[in-house]
Amino acid sequence: MHYSKNAAFDKWGCLANLTMIQYYLNRYDINGAYWSLVIELLFYANILLIYLLKKLDKIEIIGYTGLAYVLINCLIIRYYFPSLSKTIENAFPLVNYIPLFFAGIFFYKLKFEEKSFRHYLGIGACYILHCFYKYDGSGIVYKIDFYTYAGMLGIYFLLFILYVNNKLLFIVSKFTLFFGAISYALYLISAAFGNKLFIPSLIESFGFSFIPAALIAFAFSVGLSALVTFYFERPLIQYFKKRI
């Protein structure tokens, strides 16, 4: 299933986005940063199902089953049954990111459970499989060349390895903790308000050059993100934790 990028931006589109499953409702994301919501929700729904089935202790076996699908897709399905591969990806887009989510589980286990060599092997497998799964044969991944994509992903994985081994404590400060706390809100707000609203408005309507406009938009996005995080998101989380 594909949502239409030409779908009208109307009240129904806005309402669909409130459900966070606009992908399945064939509605366009009103904020480009929302593209990942359906993937995240599918992951949470699957983890909930695994929890309800009391199979969390089998999470590694389940994850390796997902990686096996990715490998089979890379070697067989994508080349011999391309329409089937595309149908599965469109109907269940989480499959495109199984290696990344499973790598996150391995990183969690390394940090909070045990420093096992098999977890490092699992992370290596996730890295390799994701790189080649996202490679479509043209040398282009997300409009950048394969080696750039693999290199950037490798940097992210390296940072997580340093983190789980407590090698990044030197960067911890009030400044970094603050931006870490508001990072998700900042990710969403900067895309919607900063890039698409404030920067163009400041340049076109008020004659600002790009750098001052970008700095003003960034400052606004940080302030609004802090407001959302500390006065809405965190109080709501605490409220629901108490209720549940």
Q: Cα-Cα-Cα-Cα dihedral of 124, 130, 135, 140, to 10°?
A: -90
Give yes or no for a contact between 209 and 203, defined as CB atoms under 8 angstroms apart: yes
CA–centroid distance for 242 within its chain: 28
Both 163 and 217 in one domain: the answer is no
Both 48 and 118 in one domain: the answer is yes
pTM (2 d.p.): 0.82
Q: Is the pLDDT of residue 7 over 60?
A: no
The reported pLDDT for the residue numbered 199 is 86
The reported pLDDT for the residue numbered 109 is 95
The reported pLDDT for the residue numbered 191 is 77
Both 155 and 66 in one domain: the answer is yes
Both 80 and 158 in one domain: the answer is yes
Residue 36, domain member (yes or no): no
Domain membership of residue 20 as a residue range: 1-30
The reported pLDDT for the residue numbered 136 is 65
Residue 35, domain member (yes or no): no
Q: Is the pLDDT of residue 6 over 90?
A: no
Least confident of 27-36, 72-81, 119-128, 234-243: 27-36
Average pLDDT over residues 6-19: 72
Average pLDDT over residues 135-159: 82
Write out the two tokens for 55.
Answer: 């199979």
Q: Exposure string (b/e) for 87-103, b if CB count within 10 Å is 16 or more? A: ebeeeebbbbbbbbbbb
Q: Is the pLDDT of residue 244 over 80?
A: no
The reported pLDDT for the residue numbered 33 is 80
Q: How far is CA 165 from CA 99, 150, 152, 170, 204, in A?
A: 21, 23, 20, 13, 48
Q: Decide which of 125, 152, 170 is a domain's last residue.
A: 170
Least confident of 16-25, 91-100, 129-138: 129-138
The reported pLDDT for the residue numbered 2 is 42
Both 179 and 214 in one domain: the answer is yes
Give yes or no for a contact between 191 and 177, defined as CB atoms under 8 angstroms apart: no
DSSP 50-92: HHHTT-GGGHHHHHHHHHHHHHHIIIIIHHH-HHHHHHHHHH-
Mean of the per-residue pLDDT values of the chain = 88
